[in-house]
Amino acid sequence: MKIGILTSGGDCPGLNSTIRGVCKIAMNHYDMEVYGIYNGFRGLLDDDITRLTDESTTGLLTMGGTILGTSREKLFRKRSSSINDHKSAAMLKTIEKHELDCLVCIGGTGTQKTAFDLMEAGIKVVTIPKTIDNDVWGTDMSFGFDSAVSIASDAIDRLHSTASAHQRVMVIEVMGHKTGWLALYSGMAGGGDIILLPEIPFNIHSIGDTIINRLKKGKPYSIVVVAEGIATPEGKKAAQYIAEEIEYETGFETRETVLGYIQRGGSPTAYDRNIATLMGGHAVELISSGDFGKMVALRDGRIVSVPLAEVKDKLREVTSDHDLIVQGKKMGICFG
């Protein structure tokens, strides 16, 4: 069998570990051939493909980024599932030319949708969820998330000492797109006093009250963790808006930090490396048993698969009954 493999959407730690897992298991155990498709779906359009070997997939376990490159290339029109005609022809030509039997698409929410549309167009696909946002529906965890949580919580740790030294409010904005998983997990792990998520509406007066109450208890500084996706007035970034509002509401000197792409860079955590290997291996098992149209998923601690038809178009959001929120509230953490 000949497998094509691609990475699509924003990069994250663990992509190379997953490529390694797929390749080594497919080549060494199942005697399959694996072809790397460069720059996401764009490589299918440009016929930018190379045969991967044991040698070319050595040393990938700890490496950040993706050796295949990535892009946010869209194959399908936005509102309908109809593929652009010229793109369809180019893509099918590439798949036929290299005699690829199926594709392994590693990506986030957009990739799951594109892979489903490809399946509808007659191509055999299996997908693996990756994203620092952890917003792919159908899996308890996407690889990349644990690494990003670790980077963001380390950054929050470092803000504590400077916040305390200057008696300031520190607002830190973390990624997460439209969901608050990264803000919740890093905010709780980093000891945030106020954690704002897109899923929970906030009230600036309760945020101000939390900061003032901390002062009354002898804590003249506060750490505010905000998800980039919270509601803000047109044109205002999350951290900038919240910092301005806090300063206006409390009179406290407030500073903002936008963590940015550091959250997506560098080596994956041990947890992400192992999840990447397990997910890569499961994707190959699905292929070997002809079980296509599925996304590999982690559910209740086990690696399983879910139909792409169930995954596409859905977003995995934080709910207010999440254990971290319930226990956090009992500790006095303000969630808005």
Position 73 contacts ligand F6P (CB under 6 A): no
For 203-220, the DSSP string reads -HHHHHHHHHHHHHTT--
Q: Which of 117, 133, 135, 146 is catalytic?
A: 133
Angle value at C-alpha 67, between 138 and 299, nearest 5 degrees? 15
Q: What are phi and psi of 280, to 5 degrees?
A: -60, -45
Q: Which residues pair with 147 in a beta bridge?
A: none
Q: State in angstroms the smallest separation of the CB of 62 from ligand F6P.
A: 21
Contact string 139-178 vs ligand F6P (x = CB under 6 A): ------------------------------------xxx-
Q: Is the CB of 133 or the CB of 199 nearer to ligand F6P?
A: 133
Q: Which of 4, 13, 108, 190 binds ligand F6P (CB under 6 A)?
A: 108
Least distance between ligand F6P and beta carbon 72 (Å): 6
Q: Which of residues 219-238 bind ligand F6P (CB under 6 A)?
A: 228
**Residue closest to ligand F6P, measured at CB:** 175
What is the pairing mode between strands 2-7 and 102-107?
A: parallel
CB of 8 to ligand F6P, least distance (A): 11
131 touching ligand F6P, by CB under 6 A: yes
Is residue 296 within 8 A of residue 127, CB to CB? The reply is: yes
| Cβ-based neighbours of 288, under 8 Å, separated by 6 or more | 1, 30, 32
CB 5, CB 68: distance < 8 Å? yes
DSSP 79-94: SS-PBPHHHHHHHHHH
The least CB distance from residue 203 to ligand F6P, in Å, is 25
Closest CA to 283 of 127, 132, 139, 146: 127
Q: The tokens 């440009």 sit on which residue?
A: 46
**Site track for ligand F6P across 242-271, x = CB under 6 A:** ----------------------x-------
Identify whether 117 is a catalytic site residue: no
Closer by beta carbon to ligand F6P, 158 or else 178: 178
Q: Does the footprint of ligand F6P cover residue 283 (CB under 6 A)?
A: no
Among 5, 132, 223, 225, binds ligand F6P (CB under 6 A): 132
DSSP β-ladder status, 302-307 and 294-299: antiparallel
Using rule CB under 6 A, residue 40 touches ligand F6P: no
Q: Give the active site residues.
A: 133
The binding site for ligand F6P (CB under 6 A) comprises 10, 108, 131-133, 175-177, 228, 264
